[in-house]
Amino acid sequence: MQTRHQVVQALVAGAGLGLALAAGSAIAAPAFIPLGHLAGGDFSEATSVSDDGRFVSGNAIDASDNLVPVIWDGTTANLLAVPAGFDGAYVNAISGDGQHAVALGLGPGGFQGIRWDASGTPTVLPTNPMTFSSLNAINYDGTVAGGFVNQSFMGGSDAVIWTAAGGLQNIGVMAGGNEASFTDVTNDGSRFVGYAHDPVRRPIAWDATNGFQVLASAPGSNGAGIAIDIAADGSAIAGALDFDGVPRPAFWDSDGTANVLALWSGYAAGEAIGVINGGSLVIGNWREDEFADNLRSLAFVWDADSGSRPLQDVLINDYGIDLTGWTLNTVSHVTPDGLTIVGAGLNPFGELEAFKVVIPAPAGFAAFTLAGLGALARRRR
C-alpha cells in the first residue's frame, strides 16, 4: 500500500460510520468506476482496496476544504470517525476483508497512527508527546498492522508492529541506521516490507525469524530504495531502486531477484506500487521527475509478455473502456486476483478523482490478465 505515509497538510474529523459486511455484486463487463467527490468538494483519491474489490479506502476534500478519511462501498463514501481531540486522519490502507483500516492521524500532540475496527471505532497508537507515529499497513483480518514511531521529535523512527493479541511492538532499526518503517504486510501478518537506513535507505523485508533483510540490488543501482508492497501470499515485492539518486520502478520476484522496469517517454522516475503472483503482474506510477506530484504522473501496468504500458492505453485499446476526458495519473493498489485496481485521475472537469477499474474473470477461470498486457490472471496488490 505505497508510500502514502507522507505528512499531509490538511486533515479533518469525519462522522463515524462502521464498515458494512454485505457481499458485493458481480460485474459482468469491464468497468471504469469514478468514485466521486464529497458534496461541495473537488478532490478524492483511493489508497487501497479490499481483496474482493468491494471496499475502497481513501481521502476526499469536503465543502469546507478539509481532507477527510473515507471508505467507499460501491460509490457511496462513508466517513470514518476520528478520535476525540484529533483534527483529522489520512487513511493509508484497508484490510483484505474490508472491515478495518489504518491511518496517520493529526492528534492534539502531533501525528499518531490510528486503526479502525469493524464497527468503525478508532484506536490510537500510543506515543508520548515528543514523538509521532503512523500505521501504514494492515493484514487480511485486521489483527496485525505496521508502521513507524519516531524516536523523538527531531530524531529518526523505529519500525513498529501492532497486534490485537499483544499490542505495540517496537522492531527498531538496522545496525548503522536510525530510521525504519513498514509499508505493507502479507495477508497472514507474518512478513512486512518497507525501508531501513544503514545509513543509506534500503528496501527491506522483515519477519520474526530473520529480522531485517535487505532486498537485492540491480546493475547500475547502489541498492538504495524502498519496498512499498508485498503480494498477499508473500510471493513478490514491489517498490523502487535508486539510480544516480533517482527512483526507478522495481519488483522482486519469487526468487528475490530485482527486476527494474522501463520508464515511459517523458518520465524520469517512478515506483512500482503493487504486485501479485510472484511478479506476474505489476502496477505503478511513472513521474516526470523524482519530486513530481500526482498531476505530473502516469499510471502503468507491466507483465513479462507486454512490458510496461500506460494503464489508460490498456483499458481503452484492450477492453474498449471509454475514458474520454480522463487521465489516469496514479494507481495505489490491486486485488490479489488482479481483477480490481484503484487510484486517482484527472476527470473531465480538471479535478483529481478516485477511481476503481474492474476486469471480470472469464467463466471457468479464477482470474485472467490485462489483455495485451499479458493475462490479468496474474496480479495482486
| pLDDT, mean of residues 169-183 | 95
The string of pLDDT tens digits covering residues 149-160 is: 987 656 789 999
DSSP string, 184-218: EE-TTS-EEEEEEESSSEEEEEEETTTEEEEPP--
Query: 113 has which bridge partners?
Result: 104
Lowest mean pLDDT among 9-23, 40-54, 65-79, 91-105: 9-23
* pLDDT score recorded for residue 163: 95
Computed over every residue of the chain, the mean pLDDT equals 87
d(CA 59, CA 72): 10
Alpha carbon of residue 45 to chain centroid:
11
Cβ-contact 230, 185 below 8 angstroms: yes
Residue 309's pLDDT band (cuts 50, 70, 90): very high
* Residue entry with cell 504522473: 297
d(CA 202, CA 318): 37
Angle at 33 between CA 183 and CA 1, to 5 degrees: 5
Residue 128's pLDDT band (cuts 50, 70, 90): low
* pLDDT score recorded for residue 179: 95
Nearest to 287 by CA among 330, 228, 244: 330
Residue 366 has pLDDT above 60, yes or no: no
| pLDDT, mean of residues 84-94 | 93
* pLDDT score recorded for residue 152: 67
Residue 354 has pLDDT above 60, yes or no: yes
Amino acid identity for residue 75 in this structure: T
The string of pLDDT tens digits covering residues 255-304 is: 999 999 999 999 999 999 999 999 999 999 999 999 999 999 999 999 99
DSSP string, 253-297: -TT--EEEPPPPTT--EEEEEEEEGGGTEEEEEEESSTT--GGGE
d(CA 92, CA 183): 9
Nearest to 95 by CA among 360, 377, 335: 335
What are the residue boundaries of the structural domains of the chain, listed by start? 258-381
* pLDDT score recorded for residue 28: 63
Enter the C-alpha cell of residue 336.
490479489
Q: 365 or 188, which is more confident?
A: 188
Enter the C-alpha cell of residue 369.
490478465
How large a percentage of the chain has pLDDT more than 70? Answer: 85
* Helix (H/G/I), strand (E/B), else coil: 179: strand
